[in-house]
Chain A
Amino acid sequence: MSGHSTYEPKTGIERWLDVRLPILRFANDTVVTFPTPKNLNYWYTFGGILALMLGIQIVTGIVLAMHYVPHVDMAFNSVQRIKRDVNYGWLIQGMHANGASMFFLAVYVHMFRGLYYGSYKAPREVLWILGCVIYLVMIITAFMGYVLPWGQMSFHGAVVITNLIGALPVVGPAITTWLWGGFAVDDATLNRFFSLHYLLPFVIAGVVALHIWALHVPGNSNPKGVEVKSEADTVPFHPYYTVKDGFAISVFLLLYAAFVFFAPDALGDAVNYVKANPLVTPAHIVPEWYLLPFYAILRALPNKLLGVIAMFGAIATLFVLPWLDTSKVRSMRYRPAIRLWYFIFFIDCIVLGFCGAHAPDDLVIPGVSGLQLGDANLNSFVWLSRFAATFYFAYFWVITPLMGLTETPLKVPESISEPVLSHPASAPMGAMASPEKRG
């Protein structure tokens, strides 16, 4: 899409097509000869995994839509019928349900990769923002998809999330009614969620196209964070990264298959095997695992509107990250000071996930009664999520800008190839300056 094209049509048909629709040239420049930094590690294979997962969700989803009935009286049974009676329905439904989890797993790895290697820094801000848009649309799509089987958790999850919007002053209630198409989550809601759940993955596919376009203008970043200086720093995408991505995809598919075949319900909630009943709320409402950290942030605040603002703020923060980071050094390999904070941030996200999975008043350390602080017990998940949510925001809004100004980064290599040849730590054993010192 950018730079020179090395494509040379070989046959007459290819030449004929090339001056009419240069689609083969495009494919060649994108996935065959595309010059790619030669030092990409396995953390860089998740983009390809994500593309595959999107494809799987679309294909399995279209098949499910052939058997699914979007009606409050029939939706639950139609999904059970798919699982039990439709030929291979168990497989296709299992792939779709677990596929969403795997999709999120991959996107989180992909995003944490971007955070660590500073992939969001100039000139890749637009690339990063498009990624954040994809993530946001993924969340909306997954949320609407989860409503479709019309189990208890589907229904009451939808009630809770749509009510969040009601927290907005003045317009909130009108928007909620508009979303519902009635006075409560009901048939109208289910139908429009189905329609949108079908549509949005194609929107994602469109944004992915932009995302990859924006990737191919500056090219990939890489673990060293230095830009490609010469052709010596790159290898053609094929066969080097098609094979590397292919291997990573195979390993990833093993994990995916383990869930689909051996533990298809492990990631779901048993309560969703009970048909939706608007008159009885399950004792404990929790979203799917991949949304738990945001749910914890929502509940951390005692005020409904503030909770909603904090939750959306947690996602909005990602969009502005390129302008919060004041450091010119891209990769955290050369930023030991912030690297520590980065790992704490990672753990913080997991802690938030735990908080989201527990009832707010549950004790963090069982048996310790703890002391009352403000409206809740200090040993309860409410307070833990408050601390963790504070750290979440502090990491982006305080630590990231301050570290860039105060830290002393390590020496950044001149080029991608340079440290391979001269840096003792990364040189092969035989080339060690004084190998005898290595016991």
Chain B
Amino acid sequence: MADTVVGATPDPHASGEDPSRRDFIHIAAGAAAIGAVGGLVWPLIDQMNPAGDTLALASIEFDLGKVEPGQQVVVKWRGKPLFVRHRTPAQIAAAIKDDHADLRDPQTDEERHKAGKAEWLILVGTCTHLGCVPTVGGGDYGGWFCPCHGSVYDTSGRIRKGPAPKNLEVPTYAFLSDSKIKVG
């Protein structure tokens, strides 16, 4: 630039209007602005996700001793109903019998309870269709029936009929002792 002859050929660099430097400054400024806006927008979006204390309250303990065979107890876990069902041998047998039936979301009964604890079925009590709470004992399979749009679950909580796409969800849980579980 130093040896440019001013006036000889019209040189865009002469007046300091180096196009590539301009472009660089434009792009850099634009990128910084977009970055700044993006950096601000994300907190505004993410604030709506579950807060720290909401996540921290996420596990509960439950004493199974209260549930008689054939009964179901509903407890609130993470704001949702949790089904704790004490299955009778007949209900377990019915579930195993259908392990290889034509299932929409194929799973064996074995995969849906803890090993050796077939009588205890622990499920998230929200219909996998649109989240209503199915009623226990209803439907053709003696499992659950969802009143909202008619989904039918069997005694293993597997979807058998109606619009729901998936089996009732088995939450993460563990047996703390023979009669106590920790969910979440």
Contacts and interface: CB of A to CB of B under 8 A. Distances in A.
Interface residues of A, number: 36
A63 to B, nearest CB: 28
Contacts, number: 88
Contact of A179 (B48, B81, B133, B134): B48
Nearest to A305: B165
A280 to B, nearest CB: 6
Contacts of A181: 48-51, 54
A188 B130 contact: no
Interface string B41-67: 000010011110010001000000000
Interface stretch (A128-136, A155-163, A410-418): A155-163
A360 B151 CA distance: 11
Interface stretch (A7-15, A209-217, A258-266, A281-289): A281-289
Contacts of A166: 131
B148 to A, nearest CB: 5
Contacts of A178: 45, 48-49
A284 B58 contact: no
B133 A304 contact: no
Interface residues of B, number: 30
Contacts of B129: 163, 304
A184 B79 contact: yes
Majority secondary structure of chain B interface residues (helix, strand, loop or mixed):
loop
Interface in A247-288: 278-285
A182 interface: yes
Interface in B133-151: 133-135, 146-150
Given A278-B80, A285-B148, A160 B49 contact: no
A181 B147 CA distance: 26
A245 interface: no
B78 interface: yes
Contact of B148 (A160, A188, A278): A160
Contact of B132 (A160, A182, A299): A160
Interface in B12-43: none
B132 A285 contact: yes
A163 B131 contact: yes
A173 B79 CA distance: 16
Contacts of B130: 159-161, 163-164, 304
Nearest to A189: B79
A303 B51 contact: no
Contacts of B49: 177-178, 181
Top 9 nearest A-B pairs (CB, nearest first) are A184-B79, A183-B78, A163-B131, A281-B132, A163-B130, A186-B79, A160-B130, A281-B133, A159-B131
Interface of A: 156, 159-164, 166, 177-186, 188, 192, 278-285, 299, 302-304, 307, 359-361
18 contacts: A159-B126, A163-B131, A177-B49, A181-B48, A181-B49, A181-B51, A183-B80, A278-B133, A281-B146, A281-B147, A281-B148, A283-B147, A284-B147, A285-B132, A285-B147, A302-B163, A360-B150, A361-B150
Given A183-B54, A282-B147, A304-B163, 16 more contacts: A156-B148, A159-B130, A164-B130, A179-B48, A180-B50, A182-B78, A184-B78, A184-B126, A188-B50, A188-B51, A192-B48, A284-B147, A285-B148, A303-B163, A304-B130, A304-B164
